[in-house]
Structure 1
Amino acid sequence: MQSSTESSASYKNQTRRESSPSAKLVWIIWILLITAGITAAYLYSNHMKQEVIRQLQADSRKQMNELKMGYEAKFAALSDEVKELESKVQSFNELLTFTKDNATSKTDNSNKLYTQLNEVKKQLNTLQQKMELLK
């Protein structure tokens, strides 16, 4: 009877030996899968980070171009207004000079012209200040 117990003991040892390498293989496969998953997640997160950075850069460039175009449009509009006011000032100066030359005892008209000229100069100064702020 010893032979039957010996044979069953040797069978158990043999099955343990056989199951032991397969258990190690399962652990190695699990470790490899986990490592592959972590590596894939890391690579994907880096890829997504680069995509977000590219998108932000593109959006920033777009916004900067829009701001630049808006600034240039405002600057052009203010330049036109300044030119228009300068021409008005010049015409008022000519009118004032003409009025001074032809003035008699009635100085009300020249006073009105001086007042209008001062108002135009104030407007011109404020527009020039706005242009300097835009620069």
Structure 2
Amino acid sequence: MCMPELASAQAAPEKAIRARQSSYYLMSQQMARINATIKGDVAFDRTALETSAEALDVIGRLVVDNYPAGSDQGSTKAKPEIWKETSRFSQLAQASQSEAARLKAAVRGGDLDAIKAAYGATSQSCKSCHEVYRAR
């Protein structure tokens, strides 16, 4: 006899892993879209940049909820230190969220130099977390 609660509990970590991987993929696509504008590879489109910056802000706030206990096992690049160093991980996540909010504000302002600076800070905040908590 299959117990749905048990099957669901066993599937929960894998669902969390897929959710955070999908979130990070979407975030990387939005960062690439902003970067292409900064580099001049695509024309400046404020509406498109606002959409990307908004997505980064929202997804960045949601993705941290996808690290429940047990989701360190399976097909993940997340290092086990995330679950051992929750305070530090939370600090780095908060820093990334703050930078994403600054990027969103810079995009709304429309000044390309301000967007470049905010993009750089956001990118660095992502990198600082990846360096510590993401397996290569």
Q: Same fold (TM over 0.5)?
A: no
Structure in which a larger fraction of residues adopt helix: 1
TM-score by length of 1: 0.40
The structure whose RCO (Cα within 8 Å, separation 6+) is larger is 2
TM-score by length of 2: 0.40
Rg larger in 1 or in 2?
A: 1
